[in-house]
Amino acid sequence: MENTVRDLFGIDSDMQVPAFSEADERVPDLDPSYVFDGDTTLAVAAYNGGEGNVDDWREEAASRGEPFRVSDIPFTETRDYVTRVRDARRSYRAEYARELGV
């Protein structure tokens, strides 16, 4: 079953996740458990770098007794993508807070 970005992130507008284009709206088989307390970091990392890799990175961080951080992502492309999505989302939420109801 496919999940939409809206379903995974609990959003009402594409503006809340600006790095996803209309073509990216459907995320095949991405586990909603990658969204923790509204933090979409793991979901975005899984979307770009693969769920199996995110599971491995989370396990490695946990084995050190640390929470998963963006800096734990060894793939430069994925680490940069996650950072861009987070920064863009933060900017959009600030710019369009009224329209987004936040």
Give the separation between CA 17 and CA 100, rounded to whole angstroms: 11
Mean pLDDT (whole number) for 71-98: 88
Its pTM stands at 0.64
Q: Say whether 35 sits in a helix, a strand or coil.
A: coil
Predicted confidence (pLDDT) per residue in 34-71, tens digit: 665 567 788 889 889 988 999 899 999 999 999 999 99
If DSSP codes are grouped into helix, strand and coil, which group holds residue 36?
strand
Look at the chain and report how many structural domains it folds into.
1
Residue 36 confidence (pLDDT): 59
- Rounded CA separation 43/49 (Å): 10
Q: Are 93 and 19 in contact (CB under 8 A)?
A: no
Domain of 7, in residue numbers? 2-100
Mean pLDDT taken over the chain: 74
pLDDT score, position 22: 42
